[in-house]
Amino acid sequence: MASFTILFNALVKNNHHETVISLFKRFNSTGLLPNLILFNILLNCVCNRGRAYDGFVVLGRILRLGFSPDAVSFTSLIKCLCRKGRIMKATQLFKNMNPFGCRPNVITYGTLIQGYSSLIDGLCKHGLVDKAKELFLEMKGMGIGPDVVSYTSLIQGLCFGGKWEDAKDLIDEMVDQHVHPNVVTFTVIIDDFCKNGKIDKANELLELMVKRGGLCKMGRLKIARKLFHKLPQEGLEPNIVTYNIMVHGLCKEGKLEEANDLLSIMEEEGCALDLITYNTLMRGFLQNNETAKVVELLHKMVEINIMPDASTTPIVIDLLVKDEKYRKCLNLLPLFPKQKPTVS
């Protein structure tokens, strides 16, 4: 039996799940009785293939043969159900562990946290914040501690829904539970800073997060830029989404040079600029009638091989309308390589 265990484990490590499933069928024909370890390997394989129904069949066989499924058995199935978005079924299975005298392990809890977080995030993105809150409370009621993803998703949903007091309470709770905000959490708040009509409220939430989280020891945070520049000092590296939000916000405020300087910072930090960055900044310069800056950015796009899209075209058209020099001398504009047509 030990030889089979070694063989099956080696196959699983190399992702040969179907081979294990096939060999297990042949193993049955030998008349040998698999032990719980082998059943768990099989359960892991069918669940990794997304075959939840087959997983329950294996679990049923484990029980019929008189074995007591352990945390590994349940966790494989719970993980499979969570991946398929069947969180309620996974939760039900989790609750059934106790009657079998089986205690969840760290991986079981981690799997459910991840599953709940994904579902909470999905509900918030679809505007179903109240449903997300119900799920969040259910999660806590089961003794499953929400992680930073769960908190951030719900904070974002509450912010977008204008439920500022609830968001503040959640930030308080987040810090009390020693769940530390990450770069995504701050990106969510910075995003609100850069949206019209929400600056004061977003600022209030940020100040609360800073005070409660101890992220700033030198006074209150006044504007999103201060928080943005504070992120690296706290070991939180801004990502391309964070940078693009800041570029957009600065352009809206007319702080184009500061937005342009941000591009240099991005390059120094090894954060690859994308088309959104360039389109946003070009649109800002164009609205300020700084056409030369727009052309400079277009040339830079060619240099680093960033291809324009449908959003770039109206920028170039507006450029030609605004500046007669470029209409009369089109060779001042860069020439982008021809793009191959997309085959549908």
Residue 57 has pLDDT above 80, yes or no: yes
The CA distance from 150 to 188, in Å, is 13
Residue 113 lies in a domain: no
CA dist 222 → 209, 235, 253, 343 (Å) = 13, 21, 15, 50
Give dist(CA 5, CA 7) in Å, integer.
5
In a domain, 281, yes or no: yes
CA 195, 198, 200, 205 torsion: positive or negative? negative
* Distance from chain centroid for Cα 193: 20
Question: 79, 104, 129: which is the final residue of a domain?
Answer: 104
Number of domains comprising the chain? 2
The last residue of a domain, from among 57, 73, 104: 104
User: Mean pLDDT lowest for which of 56-70, 266-280, 320-334?
Assistant: 320-334
pTM summary value: 0.47
What does the pLDDT look like over 234-270, one tens digit per residue? 555 677 877 787 787 778 778 888 888 888 888 888 8
- Domain assignment present for residue 198? The answer is no
Domain boundary among 86, 104, 122: 104
Q: Is residue 304 part of a domain?
A: yes
- Residue 292, pLDDT score: 87
Q: Which domain holds residue 284?
A: 239-344
Instruction: Give residue 218's pLDDT.
Output: 30
